Structure 1
Amino acid sequence: MKPYQPWTSAVAFWTMMAEAQMVMTLRMMGMMGVLPAHKRENHTMMAEKAPAFAEAAMAAGAAMMTGKSPDEIAQAAIRPVARRTRANVKRLTKPRAPRTPKPS
């Protein structure tokens, strides 16, 4: 194990947690109408959780079965969730034109 490995795992974890908080804030602001939000955002929010956690569990299990260190197992588990939180932050912070009602 590398001497800085625990720090790498900690930074990956806290980065993912900060991104998750940002995603929750942006989604709540979209639900309140403060920010423009896609009409299927609530569905997306619920549909992405189970696959992300399943992938994280499988990655952690695979790392365990191959004899990885605890820090490497933690990083394997964090990676799939962090990939999704990072993608959500990118998507939700992209400038979007507000929806305008259709003329009648």
Structure 2
Amino acid sequence: MAKIVTAMDYWINGLQLSFVMAEAQSVIAMRAMGAVGLWSVPKSENSRMLNEKVFAFVKGTTDASIAAIAGKSPDVVVALAIKPIRQATRANHKRLTKRGLKRA
């Protein structure tokens, strides 16, 4: 039996994207402050931010493509595309927030 798609299914994806945007902005701010020595970031942060984006976008694209080919509903396809990006932004925000301002 096919899933009945409701407006709430699309709203949830929009909410997840809102979280991605908010967390990404704070992660960008913390990384920028880390680049000038104000925020405590590990030395590997620059390479990490590039590598994780590649993984998240490839994983999201692959999962969404497989779901689309399998005939899944659009809300499921979009949710699968968002999921690895959301996981990365959530993890980065949590990790960098714990590090905090650099102490003099």
TM-score (norm 2): 0.86
Please name the residue that 1:20 is paired with: 24
Counterparts of residues 1-104 of structure 1 (less than 5 Å):
1-95=5-99, 98=102
Q: Distance in 2 between matches of 1:52 and 1:44?
A: 12
Amino acid at match of 1:32: V
Q: Which has the larger radius of gyration?
A: 1
TM-score (norm 1): 0.86
Q: Distance in 1 between matches of 2:96 and 2:42?
A: 9
Give 1:56 deviation, angstroms: 0.6
Q: Distance in 2 between matches of 1:46 and 1:60?
A: 21
Give the unaligned 5+ runs of structure 2. none
Structure 1's consecutive aligned runs of 4 or more residues displaced over 2 angstroms after TM superposition are 95-100
Superimposed CA distance per residue, residues 17-59 of structure 1 (whole angstroms, 9 cap, x where no aligned partner): 1111111111001001111211111111111111111001011
Give 1:3 deviation, angstroms: 3.3
Give the unaligned 5+ runs of structure 1. none
CA RMSD, 1 decimal: 1.8
Contact in 1 for aligned 2:60/2:81 (Cα 8 Å): yes
